[in-house]
Amino acid sequence: MNYGTYLRTVGIDAAILEFLVANEKVQVVNLGCGSDLRMLPLLQMFPHLAYVDIDYNESVELKNSILRESEILRISLGLSKEDTAKSPFLIDQGRYKLAACDLNDITETTRLLDVCTKREIPTIVISECLLCYMHNNESQLLINTIMSKFSHGLWISYDPIGGSQPNDRFGAIMQSNLKESRNLEMPTLMTYNSKEKYASRWSAAPNVIVNDMWEIFNAQIPESERKRLRSLQFLDELEELKVMQTHYILMKAQW
C-alpha cells in the first residue's frame, strides 16, 4: 500500500463523485488516461455518464489490448475480442470511448473532442500527472481551449509542484532523478512551484480550489481511516510523508 497513490485516488474520486451527484447527465474527458480503470465502476454506477479516455497511441493500444483480453473487463464494457472501432478510436462502445491523440497538438485534440463530446453537457476534465510533462505554451493552450469548449465543467488536475521555499530542493532533486533514471523532463515543475502559481493557470474559472495532498490527508481522511492505513503500512517517520505530500497538489476548477 502506498500513501501517495491512495490519497491521489481517493481525492480524485471524491471530486468526481461530488460533481456526478450534482448533475444528472455528465461526460468525463480523461486526458492522458494511461492504464487508469476508473471508468469501470463509474459507468456502472451512473447510467447517464459518458466517458472518454485519451492518450498517446502507444498507451491506448496497450490499454485496448488489456481491456479486450481480460474476460472480466471485456464483459464489463460490452466489448468483443476483435478491435472493430474506426480511427482515432480504439474502442467506441456506447458510453465509453478510447481514443489516440497527441494532446500537444491542439488542432488534433479539438477535432477529437468535436467528434466525441457535446458542448452543452456538464463535463469533468481529468489531467492526472499530465500537465507537468507538457511545455508551458502547449499546456496553457490546452487548458484555455478545453475550458472555452464546454459551457459548464469541472477540471480536476493532480501534479507535483517543485516547492517555493528558499531551501526547498524537492523539485531540483525530482528533476535530476527523472532525467537520470528515465530520461524524462517536467518543464513546468519549477514554473508553477506553489499551489497559488499552479492554480493561476485556471484564472478564467470563477471557482478554483487547490490543496496539497498533506492537507487532504489531514482534513478529508477520517481518523478511523488513517488508523486503518497505519495498520496496513507502518510509518516510522511522519515527517517524510509530509514532505512528499506537500509537493503534490489536487486542483479543482469549476466554471
The architecture of the domain spanning 3-254 is 3-Layer(aba) Sandwich (3.40)
What's the CA gap between 190 and 202, in Å, rounded?
17
Specify the pTM.
Answer: 0.95
192-238: pLDDT as tens digits = 999 999 999 999 999 999 999 999 999 999 999 988 988 888 777 78
- Which residue do the cell numbers 451527484 mark? 21
Q: Are 155 and 127 in contact (CB under 8 A)?
A: yes
120 annotated among ligand-binding-site residues: no
Bond before 88 cis per omega within 30 degrees: yes
138 annotated among ligand-binding-site residues: no
22-61: pLDDT as tens digits = 999 999 999 999 999 999 999 999 999 999 999 999 999 9
Residue 80 burial (CB count, 10 A):
9
What's the CA gap between 140 and 192, in Å, rounded?
12
178 annotated among ligand-binding-site residues: no
Lowest mean pLDDT segment, chosen from 72-76, 81-85, 149-153, 160-164: 81-85
| Average pLDDT of the chain, as a whole number | 95
169 annotated among ligand-binding-site residues: no
Which has the closest alpha carbon to 187: 178, 195, 196, 168? 178
228 annotated among ligand-binding-site residues: no
